[in-house]
Amino acid sequence: MTPQNLFVATVALCLVNGLVSPALPLMMALWPVWMPEMVRPSNETVYYGASLLVSTGTLLLSAVPAAIAERAGLAMERAMWVWLGGAGVLLLLGLG
């Protein structure tokens, strides 16, 4: 697989994690902190925004081991596999 395909797969796993993560209800409860005042706070907008925040957090958190692995000398494709694995582990933790 090319690094671009691995990145698309990683983003897909992170998006799924944004829908099923146990952190989602917490982010939905904290909507007054992160939602701008110009957006009307309906259930749909709060769920969508919280899901995007959890997905982005998953993407960033799963990138930390990949960055460390690439800094340690792994090739970019192997580091992308580490990133995909990190996202998969976070998804499995969210499902469990």
User: What's the pTM?
Assistant: 0.89
Residues in Cβ contact with 15 at an 8 Å cutoff, skipping those fewer than 6 apart: 55
Q: Compute the C-alpha angle 94/10/39, nearest 5°.
A: 70
φ, ψ of residue 75 to 5 degrees: the values are -70, 165
Per-residue pLDDT of the chain (96 residues; tens, 9 = 90+): 888 999 999 999 999 999 999 999 999 999 999 998 888 889 999 999 999 999 999 999 999 999 999 999 999 999 999 999 999 999 999 887
CB-CB contact of 14 with 62 (8 Å): yes
